[in-house]
A and B are shown apart, each in its own frame.
Chain A
Amino acid sequence: MIVAALAMARLRNLFGVVIIGSIYSFLMALALFMLDAADVSMTEAAVGAGVSTVLLLGTLYLTKISEAPPMRFSVAPLAASIVTGCVLLYGVSGLPEYGDPKSPIHMHVAPDYIKGVLPQTGVPNAVTAVLASYRGYDTLGETTVIFTAGLGVLLLLAGLRKERTRKRERRS
């Protein structure tokens, strides 16, 4: 994954970048699957590696295929990302160990969910039960966000199309 990330940063051919991004997503899905998060892994493989790759390729079809060389080399963004990375790495050192049963996340509501899911909802997959039932409001909001985001994209593209046809009419 590190190799894929570095290759994406170095490559100027955007077609290659999109394909490597898809490979990165597949590796990420594999890593999530190894961490026993099958639901998230499935989402990552379908959205990250599948649909978003197609959408990015569609975008490339509309724009240029190679990235313009940078105007000048600037230090500030590099410094900002290095500092942010260091802060995040420092934050990781404060997290509880992976799979630690005493970590706060396993002490609060998780035991109630695990004990209550089957007798209360009759749904063996705890992830589905938590998403759709215990956290129904959140999921409703999530669905609304997906709808709103899709609407925003459609409106943006429709506006762009109208502008282009207007320009073409003016030209002719």
Chain B
Amino acid sequence: MMHREVIPRVVVKLLLPFILLFGLYVQFHGELGPGGGFQAGVIIAAAVILYGIVFGLSAAKRVAPPALVHTMMPLGVLVFASVGVAGLLAGGNYLDYFVLDPDKVHGQERGIFWVEIGVLISVSGTMTSIYYAFSSRPD
């Protein structure tokens, strides 16, 4: 799309690390401040989409290959669901985090952490694949 414009390319190159860092901050700081897996997933997908808009779709596909992105969609749901199964194996109910650690409060924190990771993977994968599907259609 925009291959010759210098300013957007330079600005986006400067912005991208901060966008990705903000996404990770929203993900791992979600317990303390606003945000969580969904918001972080969208922010990280937005970084990939921005990269694709400015540097072309093929460049974005080199950074985040479609096969990886497509695998991320079910992988996130799987991570979420296996946190529930981990609760079962540890002797509790499905999605029961209290049993994940001897310290109950710590178990909650651990469960929430992994569940949010699952949401992040699934959301960012879905958003990026939809973008790929829309922008890589012929004619």
Contact = CB atoms under 8 A, between A and B. Distances in A.
Interface of A: 38-39, 41-43, 46-47, 50-51, 54-55, 58-59, 61-62, 119-125, 127-129, 131-133, 136-137, 139-140, 143-144, 146-147, 149-151, 153-154, 157-158, 160-161, 164-165
B51 to A, nearest CB: 12
Given A54-B49, A121-B97, A150-B73, 7 more contacts: A58-B134, A122-B105, A123-B31, A133-B108, A136-B115, A140-B80, A147-B77
A132 B77 contact: no
Contacts of A161: 137-138
A63 B74 CA distance: 30
Contacts of A149: 126
Top 9 nearest A-B pairs (CB, nearest first) are: A150-B126, A38-B34, A121-B108, A58-B134, A122-B105, A136-B95, A132-B112, A46-B42, A157-B133
A120 B108 contact: yes
Contacts, number: 144
B42 A47 contact: yes
A143 B122 contact: yes
* Chain B interface, DSSP helix/strand/loop, else mixed: helix
Contacts of A41: 34
Interface residues of B, number: 52
A165 B115 CA distance: 41
8 contacts: A39-B35, A51-B131, A128-B30, A128-B31, A128-B112, A139-B80, A153-B133, A157-B133
Contacts of B119: 139, 143
Interface of B: 26, 30-39, 42-43, 45-46, 49, 53, 70, 73-74, 76-77, 80-81, 84, 95, 97, 104-106, 108-109, 111-112, 115-116, 118-119, 122-123, 125-127, 129-131, 133-135, 137-139
Contacts of B135: 58, 61
A128 B134 CA distance: 32
A74 B66 CA distance: 45
Given A54-B53, A55-B134, A143-B76, A42 B39 contact: yes
Contacts of A50: 42, 46
Contacts of A153: 130, 133
Given A39-B34, A147-B73, A150-B126, A140 B84 contact: yes
A124 B30 CA distance: 9
